């Protein structure tokens, strides 16, 4: 079959690889009908995530048709159309029972690698390094789905693939980010990053009752998309990167009630601390560029909430923890607990409350995947989200 394989920093290729096989009784094999490139894949593309190996199949946002099931799979059968969440969970451990699915204790066979860095391991992820399990991803014609009774959700309605595909990650991720803000009537929510995650955070904040959402980025087409969803937009380059003063002014001096960092470890910026982050990262003196996180901590109102869906990887430098403490901020973060959101968000799509396909700018064949990684990373060609057809 064809698959997009990682071969090193900025080197992904479409390769011919062996078809996946059932390895465990609870596996299913999917014929992938649609898949996407995620902002998280860009961290792999940029060589920011350790324990990738040449030949690893990428992709954690995918859907398709079940073509084979292991003997213990009860809920799925051949021919079912399913969307698969990017986190892999066993459904049985302490964490799954607590509905903290992305912290599953059983799905990562390489847990020891993560334990060395983080103390404990989160769940395994599709196509996201050996530290996260080494599972082949879904930017491919077929994929093996472990614990097939736990993750995938069947979609029987007439909705198109592109309307439900983002249930695999970015819609639930934006939604959880907004839910984590504990939004109350009249609240103002600031969202850094108008990429796919930011787009769904903006839309979800409104769905959850925010009176006002302020979306921050510098890429015009991305800001326009956020504006179309009702957000006030701020181009951080227009305000000379003085986003803190700007947000204070926009909120009568009090600061946003909650702040969502939908940017993560690869934030940009022209301020001195941001430039220093970039230099330190280049010299391998730092893992992350936490510019947005610092700004959000600084400007969030007293007693407010910081919700962090953006991915961070290592030891973060110069975090104003004193400010966070002094203002009594709440922090919520992490990989999305996907299985809590699949059905409720599918219901919202079926109900017409949201059409996730509006963020798609590029619909191309998997053969164009490698060039699309670059286009999406560099925000060229008005690229807001890429979906790939593995068969055409
Ligand atoms: P993306 O790269 O398409 O979007 C990031 C956006 O942030 C870009 O539009 C960029 O212009 C903007 N940006 C960069 N620096 C900024 C700054 N200083 N201020 C404001 N905006 C800035 O990525 P995405 O797909 O939207 O993902 C966003 C983040 O969410 C990534 O870190 C990704 O890994 C993470 N993510 C997390 C989860 C989870 O489960 N927590 C799931 C999916 C993605
Ligand atoms: Zn993703």
**Phi/psi at 224 (nearest 5 deg)?**
-60, -40
- pTM of the predicted protein model: 0.97
Using CA of residue 267, residue 38, residue 361, residue 164, what is the dihedral sign? negative
Contact partners, residue 330, CB within 8 Å, separation at least 6: 182, 303, 304, 305, 306
- Residue 273: what pLDDT? 86
Q: Is 291 in the pocket of ligand 1 (CB under 6 A)?
A: yes
- Residue 153: what pLDDT? 98
Cα–Cα nearest to 14, from 27, 1, 31: 1
Mean pLDDT of the chain: 96
36, 40, 289, best to mutate for ligand 1 pocket (most atoms within 8 Å of CB): 40
Distance from the CA of 387 to the center of ligand 2, in angstroms? 12
Distance from the CA of 284 to the center of ligand 2, in angstroms? 25
Q: Is 385 in the pocket of ligand 1 (CB under 6 A)?
A: no
Contact partners, residue 163, CB within 8 Å, separation at least 6: 349, 355, 356, 357
Q: Is 39 in the pocket of ligand 1 (CB under 6 A)?
A: yes
Query: What residues are neighbours of ligand 2 (ion), with CB under 5 Å?
Result: 38, 40, 169
- Residue 83: what pLDDT? 98
Distance from the CA of 139 to the center of ligand 1, in angstroms? 20
Among the bound ligands, the one closest to the CA of 87: 1
Atom 20, ligand 1: which residue's CA is nearest?
Answer: 217
* pLDDT tens-digit readout, 6-45: 999 999 999 999 999 999 999 999 999 999 999 999 999 9
Q: Is 48 in the pocket of ligand 1 (CB under 6 A)?
A: no
For residues 306 and 331, the answer to whether their CB atoms sit within 8 Å is: yes
Rounded Cα gap, residues 244 and 336, in angstroms? 28
- Residue 281: what pLDDT? 87
Distance from the CA of 128 to the center of ligand 2, in angstroms? 10
Which contiguous run of DSSP H or E holds residue 234? strand 232-235
Q: With a cut of 70, which residues of the chain have pLDDT below it?
A: none
- Residue 366: what pLDDT? 98
37, 39, 219, best to mutate for ligand 1 pocket (most atoms within 8 Å of CB): 39
CA 213-218-219 angle, to 5 degrees, is: 100
Rounded Cα gap, residues 222 and 200, in angstroms? 12
For residues 99 and 340, the answer to whether their CB atoms sit within 8 Å is: yes
- Residue 110: what pLDDT? 96
Q: Is 236 in the pocket of ligand 1 (CB under 6 A)?
A: yes
Rounded Cα gap, residues 326 and 133, in angstroms? 39
* pLDDT tens-digit readout, 143-166: 999 999 999 999 998 999 999 999
Atom 14, ligand 1: which residue's CA is nearest?
Answer: 267
CA distances from 263 to 43, 179, 293, 370, 378 (A): 11, 17, 9, 22, 14
User: What is the atom index within ligand 1 of the atom nearest the CA of 87?
Assistant: 40
Among the bound ligands, the one closest to the CA of 172: 1
């Amino acid at each position: 079959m064809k698959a997009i394989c990682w071969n090193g920093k900025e080197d992904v290729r479409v390769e011919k690889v062996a078809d996946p096989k059932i390895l465990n009784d609870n596996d299913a094999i999917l014929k992938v009908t649609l898949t996407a490139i995620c902002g998280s894949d860009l961290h792999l593309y940029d060589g920011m995530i350790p324990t990738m190996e040449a030949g690893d199949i990428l992709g954690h946002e995918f859907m398709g048709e079940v073509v084979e099931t292991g003997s213990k799979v009860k809920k799925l059968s051949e021919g079912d159309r399913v969307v698969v969440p990017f986190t892999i969970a066993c459904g049985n451990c302490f964490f799954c029972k607590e509905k903290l699915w992305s912290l599953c204790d059983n799905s990562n066979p390489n847990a020891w690698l993560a334990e060395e860095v983080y103390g404990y391991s989160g769940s395994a992820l599709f196509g996201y390094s050996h530290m996260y399990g080494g599972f082949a991803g879904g930017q491919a014609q077929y994929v093996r789905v472990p614990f097939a009774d736990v993750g995938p959700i069947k979609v029987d309605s007439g909705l198109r693939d592109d309307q439900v595909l983002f249930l695999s990650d970015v819609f639930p991720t934006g939604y959880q980010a907004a839910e984590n803000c504990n939004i109350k009537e009249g609240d103002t929510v600031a969202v850094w990053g108008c990429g796919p995650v930011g787009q769904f955070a903006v839309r979800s904040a409104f769905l959850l009752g925010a009176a006002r959402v302020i979306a921050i980025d510098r890429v015009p087409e991305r800001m326009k998309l956020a504006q179309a969803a009702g957000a006030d937009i701020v181009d951080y380059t227009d305000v000379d990167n003085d986003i803190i003063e700007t947000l204070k002014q926009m909120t009568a001096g009090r600061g946003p009630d909650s702040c969502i960092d939908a940017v993560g470890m690869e934030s940009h910026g022209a301020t001195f601390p941001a430039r220093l982050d970039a230099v330190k990262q280049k010299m391998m003196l730092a893992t992350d560029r936490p510019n947005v996180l610092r700004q959000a901590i600084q400007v969030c109102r007293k007693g407010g909430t910081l919700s962090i869906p953006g991915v961070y990887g290592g030891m973060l430098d110069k975090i104003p923890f004193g400010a966070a403490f002094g203002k009594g901020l709440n922090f919520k973060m992490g990989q999305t607990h996907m299985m809590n959101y699949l059905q409720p968000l599918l219901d919202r799509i079926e109900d017409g409350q949201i059409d996730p396909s509006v963020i798609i700018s590029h619909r191309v064949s998997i053969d164009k995947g490698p060039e699309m990684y670059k286009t999406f990373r560099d925000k060229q060609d008005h690229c807001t989200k890429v979906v790939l057809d593995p068969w055409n």
